[in-house]
Structure 1
């Protein structure tokens, strides 16, 4: 959307990506091609861009502290009948202390919020209320 053109919207396709993530800003440069047949877009104009990001239905967002990255694997610890259960997951996007995870999890599963690999798979877990 270009505010200086009365909030006119244009569609574009991302054609080139820099491939290098700026860890400080958590950003990446991209180049998009826009049809400009009417010659309305000029050099130096600024646009507000909305990029939809695909996501899977089986994504959960958890505190980053709930995800354990060991030398062997990445997992979360599910509480199952007062026992700990390591569940392998894949990490997605991370921001503001939260991490997307993909794995064999269901709505209602209880996870250890501050997990680590010292909580062994199958060990007893006490739930504090």
Structure 2
């Protein structure tokens, strides 16, 4: 990713509505065990809660959507400085079946691209 770990962390915890969620839909406070809600893609609800937060290094949260068939999955994003940018490792686990897993596996690359582009524009 071109942006710094600090910028990516901020966008994942405080600026979700600027690059992923539908405008005005985010209800999110970055604190462990704090629930969040937003819609994305024209009204599709997303729910979860933060599990672990390490500023500029780690965001781990539960992720519940229609795409997970209502199952509470776990999304982990690890950030580390890499040159002028960031090495990002995304792990998404706990899917109810292969279909749900495969849908997300196909979606995450475009989401990461949008996140990186939005972070570069925000700097």
Q: TM-score, normalised by structure 1?
A: 0.22
Higher helix share: 2
Higher Rg: 1
